[in-house]
Amino acid sequence: MNTLTAKDFLTIDDFDIGDRTILVRVDLNSPMSPGGGILDDMRIKSHIPTLMDLEDAKVVLLAHQSRPGKNDFTTMQLHADVMSSSLGRKVTYIDDIFGTHARDSIASMEKGDVILLENVRFYSEESLRRPVDEHQGTHMVRKLAPLFDIFLNDAFAVSHRSHLSITGFSGVLPSGAGRLMEREITSLDVSLKGSESPCIFVLGGAKVDDSLKVAEHVLSSGGADRVLVTGVVANVVLAASGVDIGGPNMKFIESQGYLDQIDKAKNILERFDGKLGFPRDVALNDNGERIEANIDDVASSNLPINDIGLETIVAYSSEIENAKTVVLNGPAGVSEIEGFEIGTSEIIKAATNAGYSIAGGGHITAEVRNMGYEKMFSHISTGGGACIDYLAGDLLPGIEALKVAAKRYREFE
């Protein structure tokens, strides 16, 4: 179970950052066009508050773009240009990570300078998942660490991975959370530990195992009063409840390797009677046409379920908008197909009326932004996998490393 609190890690406020040289791990990983342009600068802009608070320091940024083998695995030059525009001052791109060029550039920095080093995943050891002490002995850490006074992790979205640049520096430098990381932890903790009742989680999308793990965790810990399911998650729960969801939908569940999750869903239904809400009707896709159907009529239709039905939308929306706390993760249907985005959009609208609203995960946050509702949510998480792991009660290596670093720092103060 995740027991991290604001007192377990250090933040920018715990350090004297004036004229210090600070290494900051950020997450600038952005969708790229075939021509190499950045399609969405949301993640880049999310780090601006951290950089603004470090304006009196010398700041060096470590980041990645994509991973080896992908078409968008490229340099960080364009990211530096976009960040410069967002920040309002020059962010200098250095086409090196820890070689002589990078180290000389860092050594010659002046107060207020910001440098973005090369894509950290160009270094093969970056993505190796291994113990923190092994990361600390790598060439990257041994070459860069002596040049810095402080390390800040502001990359929540990749902190569920024990990668070198996420955990390697926290053992050898005074370390804390940047503003984005701090906001992610404190905001998500509202839903897990400090939420007002009723607290409702709405879990959808196609990652059934992750969503059921979250549902089990928040219901057993008392973090949620109700969990409402949509998407493929709902199909699995419907099957677990005894509903015949039809051949196409069972075949899809099987193709994704989620047949075993039906028994898990059945166990959750039995353990938490009435607390796991599932659809009473659905929208079927008949060659692109939306067909409303009661769940009892799905099997005979032999059509795929692509959204929750209108009756369910009304029932879910009523619960959501009257809740004190709402967490959305995953779309309600195949929202990229016209006519099947209704469930997702209506749930998002309802969440804006809740007391405290959180959207976590790539698909649902993208829909929130597309609808122009970003400012109407209390918190939009930048993490997909990291967000759902945190909500499921898993310990994120990047955050745990900051926790250990804070304890060590306080012992030697």
Could you list the residues known to form a binding site for (2R)-3-phosphoglycerate, using ranges: 43, 121, 161
Are 116 and 91 in contact, with CB atoms under 8 Å apart?
Answer: yes
**DSSP secondary-structure letter at 195?**
P
Which residues have CB under 8 Å from 76's CB, separation 6+? Answer: 28, 63, 65, 93, 116, 117, 118, 119
Mark the binding-site residues for substrate, compressed into ranges: 27-29, 43, 64-67, 121, 161
Q: Which of 356, 369, 364, 367 is nearest to 383 (CA)?
A: 364
Ordered DSSP codes for 201-231: EEE-SS-HHHHHHHHHHHHHHTS-SEEEE-H
364: closest CA among 226, 206, 209, 238?
A: 206
Separation between Cα atoms, residue 65 and residue 219, nearest integer Å: 36
Radius of gyration of the chain (CA): 23
DSSP-assigned states of every residue in 264-282: HHHHHHHHTTTTEE--SEE
Q: Rounded CA gap, 345 and 371, in Å?
A: 8
Tell me the residue type at 163.
H
DSSP character at residue 38? B
Which residues contribute to the annotated binding site?
A: 27-29, 43, 64-67, 121, 161, 336, 361-364
Report the SS3 class of residue 395. coil
Name the binding residues for ATP. Answer: 336, 361-364
